Amino acid sequence: MPSSIRVFGVVAAALAALTAACASTGAVPKPFPGATSPAPPGATPPSVGDRPGTAHRPTLGPTESYALVGTALSLRGSPYRDGGSDPAGFDCSGFTQYVFAQHGVQLPREVRDQFRLGRSVAPRELAPGDLVFFSTTASGATHVAIAVGGDEFVHAPTSSGVVRVEHLSSSYWAPRYVGARRIQN
């Protein structure tokens, strides 16, 4: 096999791994640590997404949204792990699900299911804590992140990366943006 074909094969495999972002595998996440304020015995845990497009209390107000972003930012540097949903390793939807659970809001595991929640948010109305969606591996929402504020978002990007902050306006992310959802009033 000519060396140029071998090099092309290696480059193609590396590119596939890097762009495999996070069309969640559907892996079942490990149990999450309890929410920041424990529910009373016998209470039904708060959830989001029992019905597509609906959010159930508790929802996040502005103060809680900033706390949620703080939690997300505190996880910077955590490794990417396909199907991961805890600080030992996250994929994109495992990351968002974990962060929201720390604030008493349960999200479904799959990116496409998270994309059906809350209400749609125009790009100019993005606020800290909004879920931001991208199309990276197929048409439609296949990757999810959390808006930090301004032009930034935090996410678990690829199999070769770590949880990090990036810019919505970057040449990679801007053309892949498909929408944002707000899981709050």
Catalytic residue at 103?
A: no
Out of 56, 103, 143, 167, which one is annotated catalytic?
Answer: 143
Catalytic residue at 22?
A: no
Out of 56, 103, 155, 167, which one is annotated catalytic?
Answer: 155
Catalytic residue at 155?
A: yes
Out of 22, 92, 103, 167, which one is annotated catalytic?
Answer: 92
- Categorise residue 115: left if φ over 0, alpha if ψ from -120 to 50, beta otherwise: alpha
How far apart CA 185 and CA 43 sit, in angstroms, is 22
How far apart CA 16 and CA 85 sit, in angstroms, is 22
Residue for token pair 């497009």:
53
Are 113 and 48 spatial neighbours (Cβ–Cβ below 8 Å)? no
Burial grade of 19 (CB within 10 A; 0-12, 13-18, 19 or more): middle
Active-site residues, by number, are 92, 143, 155
